[in-house]
Amino acid sequence: MHIELVPLKKVGVFIFNDDIRNYSDYGLKIERSLDKTGWDTYRLEKDGVVIHTENNLIVSIACYNYCYLKNQNVINMKVGDFVNLNKVYPDLNQTDTIFLNEEEYPHIVYEFETLGMQIWVKKGVIDTVFCAPLIEE
């Protein structure tokens, strides 16, 4: 599957705020929520896509293998190339440093609110992309 991000709207065929039951033909593996978010998780293992739902509606999508934006896979892209390609800068007030599972090098997490994206960067390269819809406040 080609995993193209349309910022704030969809990732691949998965449309934000759409009912996950509309995607039963995709062989998604479900994990029911056991945490306080109440979000269930659906995995498309071969494509490295993880979909989070709340009350069956798609609220967030994580991409681990592929995430195309402007015909470029941003996974394994240098963070500087990502900024130049998209002409956007992260919200530096929402930048985090996270160590996972005893890792020697941390992930630097950048928020790009105008794209509805959070990118996880390790050693200067994008490792994971989290995508979300526009949130009306």
Per-residue model confidence as pLDDT tens digits over 33-59:
887 778 999 999 899 999 999 999 999
Q: Are 49 and 11 within 8 A, CB to CB? A: yes
Per-residue model confidence as pLDDT tens digits over 70-100:
999 999 999 999 999 999 988 777 787 887 7
- Residue 50 has φ and ψ, to the nearest 5°, of -125, 125
- Report, at the CATH architecture level, how domain 5-131 is classified: 3-Layer(aba) Sandwich (3.40)
Complete DSSP assignment for 31-43:
E---STT--EEEE
Q: Which of 7, 9, 30, 27 is nearest to 18 (CA)?
A: 9
**pLDDT attached to residue 33:** 81
86: DSSP letter:
H
**pLDDT attached to residue 136:** 57
**pTM of the predicted model as reported, rounded to 2 decimal places:** 0.89
Cα separations (Å) of 49 from 60, 67, 88, 104? 11, 9, 24, 25
